[in-house]
Amino acid sequence: MAEEFPMTGGDGPNSYAKNSNAAAKAADGAKAMLVAAIFENLDIETLQSRPTTFRIADLGCSVGPNTFIQVDNIIDAVSQKYHKKSKVQSAGELPEFQVYFSDLVSNDFNYLFSTLPRDRQYFTAGVPGSFHGRLFPEASLNFVYSAYALHWLSKIPDELRDINSPAFNKGRILYGNAPYEVGQAYSAQYAKDIKSFFHARGQELAPGGLMLLLIPGRPHGTLPAQNSLAPYFQPLESTLADMVNEGLLSEDKFDSFNLPVYCPSVEELRLLIEENGRLDILTLESIGQMPFSLPSAQGCRAGTESILRKHLGDEIIEPLFDRYSKNKNIAAGSASLVHDDSMAVGFFVLVKRKLL
């Protein structure tokens, strides 16, 4: 059974809406590439006859504003391509756009809907469910987008919590600097999840449809343990370890807690996409180090509160993040960008659904 780990909803101080700067910076950096990708690769000819609906899905959209900004970028680029191609200047010749905002059932769709841009030029729908399975009818999507969401696994591999397994992940919450077997357990779960993801998208994308993914990954030739999101979560791990030392959290609970995130290498990813058979890889490249500043207590809480609550209990949350905010690296100023070679890099992935 897949688990669900949504971002914290609403617009309170601990919400994702107020604490998603890292993702915003990362996605913003890829905007020019996004526009170029659409210009160069979108085949307007393969779309069905008028009246045409151009359907876009943002998978793992969380709540705004990042998703609204990227959707505007996508629609702008597609519209420009239409204008250029057809040499028609009147907007009446454009397709109508329908945008599906998709995330887990537990995402705060009420908040998402209440903050939709009032001047939006598209029809809206919210789609609840896991992107590791089917969410849309066959061949119904023209453009799929997903930014910094695919590193979330559908579940935590069982071995990590098995004291008798070589992959037992004692004293860590991720695979950074962990034994080989820990990274392998994460890698195997990722392969399973991402294959399901591409299988579903291969069915949902219309022939000729594009999919653009921004994915945290690791450099060519490195082991999982060497490059991960671990530095990003190091203050969380050390705060939890402190609480164990002080008797505020049982060692068993700490040892059995792991974050369900993983960063693949380009080669891992390429093989997993090629296996699919319905998708042509147009671009698969590193766009450099992930923009990286240590998350504030609020920022960390927005992304991890639901999973921490589930595995460590409700009562841990307030004391944990109170302590977290006093961690020396956080208190010293988390806003500044940190350079750490063991941090994940960003991948820009563009695939096209084969015409068959």
Is residue 140 within the footprint of its own copies (CB under 8 A)? yes
Is residue 123 within the footprint of its own copies (CB under 8 A)? yes
Residues with Cβ within 8 Å of residue 236, at least 6 apart in sequence: 173, 300, 304, 324
What is the C-alpha separation between 19 and 124, in angstroms, rounded?
24
How far is Cα of residue 152 from the mean position of the Cα atoms in its chain?
Answer: 6
Is residue 313 within the footprint of its own copies (CB under 8 A)? no
Span 47-106, contacts to its own copies by CB under 8 A: 48, 51, 53, 96-98, 100, 105-106
Answer for which of 94, 127, 188, 281 binds its own copies (CB under 8 A) is 127
Q: How many CB atoms lie within 10 A of CB 221?
A: 9
Is residue 125 within the footprint of its own copies (CB under 8 A)? yes
Is residue 116 within the footprint of its own copies (CB under 8 A)? yes
Residues with Cβ within 8 Å of residue 274, at least 6 apart in sequence: 281
What is the C-alpha separation between 226 and 342, in angstroms, rounded?
6
Query: What is the torsion angle, in degrees rounded to the nearest 10, for the CA atoms of residue 288, residue 102, residue 6 and residue 292?
Result: 20
What is the C-alpha separation between 126 and 114, in angstroms, rounded?
12
Span 324-343, contacts to its own copies by CB under 8 A: none
Instruction: Kindly state the smallest distance separating residue 56's Cβ from its own copies, in Å.
Output: 12
Answer for which of 65, 128, 288, 333 binds its own copies (CB under 8 A) is 128
Q: Which stretch binds its own copies (CB under 8 A): 36-44, 108-116, 229-237, 252-260?
A: 108-116
Among 64, 56, 59, 66, which Cα is nearest to 23's?
66
Answer for which of 5, 16, 82, 109 binds its own copies (CB under 8 A) is 109
**DSSP state for residue 161 in the 8-state scheme:** G
Instruction: Kindly state the smallest distance separating residue 63's Cβ from its own copies, in Å.
Output: 12
By C-beta, is 53 or 289 nearer to its own copies?
A: 53
Span 264-293, contacts to its own copies by CB under 8 A: none
By C-beta, is 36 or 105 nearer to its own copies?
A: 105
Is residue 110 within the footprint of its own copies (CB under 8 A)? yes
The two tokens of residue 330 are 């956080």
Q: Which stretch binds its own copies (CB under 8 A): 59-67, 137-145, 183-191, 224-232?
A: 137-145
Is residue 131 within the footprint of its own copies (CB under 8 A)? no
Distances (CA, A) of 350 to 126, 150, 291: 24, 14, 20
